[in-house]
Amino acid sequence: MHSDKRASLLIKNARQLITMSGPVPRIGPQMNELGLIENGGLAACGDEIIAVGKSDEVERQTQLAENCVVIDAGGGVVTPGLIDPHTHPVFSMTREMEFEMRTLGKTYEEIAAAGGGIRASVRDLRTTPKEIIMDKTRKRLDRLLKHGVTTAEAKSGYGLTTESELMQLEIIKELNSSHPLELVPTFLGAHEVPDEYQSDRSKYIEIIINEMLPVVAERKLAEFCDIFCEENVYNIDESNKIQTAARKLGLKLKFHADELKSTGGAELAASLKATSADHLVYISDTGIKALAAAGTVATLLPGTSFSLRSKQYAPARRLIEAGAIVALATDCNPGSSYSEHFPFMASLAALNMRLTAAEAISAMTVNAACAVGREKSAGRLECGLPADIVIWDMEDYRELPYHYAVNLVSQVIKNGKLVVEN
């Protein structure tokens, strides 16, 4: 615990310091293990954690550098920075009219038929200047950060031409270097079939495989390739073809799977050793077993069911009981879930998926890190790891789902630097 390095950051007097130290990933009952230290403290040197333990011991054993930032957690809770492993933040036009149409009783499918849905966002993005999209995306990253998110996955998927998909990935790249929030880029050219290829979908799939994927891989603009695998979007065969091609080019895989129907998306994701399968509202029993056996993370998006007025939520308890790795995410996007309030997903998960507060925290830290390939560096507070930390204005971590919708984040530290003070 002690170190020769001088601390540039010291956090003391955390009533509950939740380190998440322990098994990676957290499976089954392990999800309730928080590595909790009462009256905890933590020190960092630069971007690296150099001491974690009881507050008084950390204080005694740590030498402070000049100008060391000392934060008194004031009897609050401290956790690792949250990791949001599924977001679509790169868009301009919001779609509040569709939300109101749903209030008035229209279904997601009816709204899409009336010109709404993903393809409405595509039409907008293609005709909007990059700078405007960049500014609006940056604002969304600000909001994620204010809600305790220090690492977020971010997808393309609203362009559906080579040029506009690359533009989105470039925005993600530029923001990743200029914004404190760390972004994990995902290529999602197979988010929908664009208007101009509705009558020739195989042609668009060819473009994805032969044009988009090679340049994305060559220019290293994405770590992951994702696909909307669903009967009416990309079916199992098409998904298999695209994702196999992506894997050959060295991209890791994600799936939008079994969101609207049970179509075997989870099984396909597992068979291709995908890093994660997401949504899973209608996952089958074989799908659950397959994910657990493959170690493919089940990333659940309760905000989407909530915002779509669905009564159906992914079967989180069955997934946990089967030994699958369960993570949570916002699915922040302009259609089915417009929110950057990641901690609120713990409330939705408690109320609609029966996740305890501790399970939700596991699903937003260590397990979410696994969903974005950051399990070695993020989601835990341990010596040698990056100092990504959230200080919460609550006395007990169980307040997180209970005190709902309010932002209880007090301060956020990314790579050892204080980046948010709410």
* Candidate residues 19, 121, 307, 410; the one interacting with a copy of itself per rule CB under 8 A: 307
Among 12, 341, 374, 414, binds a copy of itself (CB under 8 A): 341
Residue 339 binds to a copy of itself (criterion: CB under 8 A): yes
Q: Using the minimum distance from each CB to a copy of itself, give the nearer residue, 7 or 316.
A: 316
Q: What angle do CA 173, 179, 185 make, to 5 degrees?
A: 30
Q: How far is the CB of 99 from a copy of itself (least distance, A)?
A: 4
Q: Which of 129, 163, 177, 405 touches a copy of itself by CB under 8 A?
A: 405
Are 121 and 188 in contact by the 8 Å Cβ rule? The answer is: no
**What would the two tokens of residue 120 be?**
């409405």
60-67: Cβ within 8 A, 24+ apart: 61/1, 61/2, 62/2, 62/3, 62/7, 62/10, 63/6, 63/7, 64/6, 64/7, 64/10, 65/6, 65/7, 65/8, 67/8
DSSP letter (8 states) at residue 6 = P
Least distance from a copy of itself to the Cβ atom of residue 308, Å: 9
Based on the shown chain and the rule CB under 8 A, indicate whether residue 306 belongs to the binding site for a copy of itself. yes
Q: State which of residues 303, 315, 379, 416 lies at the interface with a copy of itself (CB under 8 A).
A: 303
State the DSSP string of 299-354: EE-HHHHHHTT-S----HHHHHHTT--EEE---BBTTTB----TTHHHHHHHHHH-
Question: What is the nearest approach in angstroms of a copy of itself to the Cβ of residue 143?
Answer: 6
Decide if residue 315 touches a copy of itself (CB under 8 A). Answer: no
Q: Which of 60, 220, 309, 318 binds a copy of itself (CB under 8 A)?
A: 309
Stretch that binds a copy of itself, among 59-67, 97-105, 213-221, 371-379 (CB under 8 A): 97-105
Min dist CB 196 to a copy of itself, Å, is 29
Among the listed residues 4, 105, 237, 384, the single contact to a copy of itself using CB under 8 A: 105
What is the radius of gyration, based on Cα positions, of the chain? 21
Query: Hey, CA dihedral for 195, 200, 202, 203, is it positive or negative?
Result: negative
Whichever of 105 and 129 has its CB closer to a copy of itself, that residue is 105
What gap in Å lies between CA 45 and CA 60, rounded to an integer?
Answer: 16
Residues 132-161 that bind a copy of itself (CB under 8 A): 143, 147
Segment interacting with a copy of itself (CB under 8 A) among 169-177, 230-238, 333-341, 377-385: 333-341
How would you label 82-96 residue by residue, b for 16+ Cβ within 10 Å and e otherwise?
bbbbbbbbbbbbebe
Size of the site for a copy of itself (CB under 8 A): 39
Applying CB under 8 A, among 38, 56, 72, 96 the residue interacting with a copy of itself is 96
Compare residues 11 and 409 and give the one whose CB is closer to a copy of itself: 409
Q: In terms of DSSP bridges, do strands 182-190 and 149-155 run parallel, antiparallel, or are they unpaired? A: parallel
Place of tokens 């079939």: 193
Q: How far is the CB of 27 from a copy of itself (least distance, A)?
A: 19
Residue at token pair 């009881």: 54
Please pick, from the candidates 100, 109, 200, 206, the single residue that binds a copy of itself as defined by CB under 8 A.
100
Sequence-ordered list of residues with C-beta below 8 angstroms from that of 201, at least 6 positions apart, any chain: 193, 238
Residues 54, 39 contacting (CB under 8 angstroms): yes
Q: Which 8-state DSSP code applies to residue 273?
A: T
CB-nearer residue toward a copy of itself: 210 or 422: 422
Read off the tokens for 31: 């999800």
One symbol per residue from 229 to 268: x for binding a copy of itself (CB under 8 A), - otherwise; what is it?
----------------------------------------
Residue 206 backbone phi and psi in degrees, to 5: -60, -45
- Crossing angle for the helix pair 130-146 and 162-178, to the nearest 10 degrees: 50
Interface mask toward a copy of itself for 348-387; x: CB under 8 A: --xxx-xxxx------------------------------
Which residue, 207 or 355, has its beta carbon nearer to a copy of itself? Answer: 355
For residue 213, give Cα distances in angstroms to 130, 249, 254, 367.
21, 8, 14, 28
- CB 173 to a copy of itself: min, Å: 25
Residues 9-68 that bind a copy of itself (CB under 8 A): none
| Residues within the interface to a copy of itself (CB under 8 A) | 94-97, 99-100, 103-105, 143, 147, 303, 306-307, 309, 311, 338-341, 344, 350-352, 354-357, 395-396, 398-399, 401-407
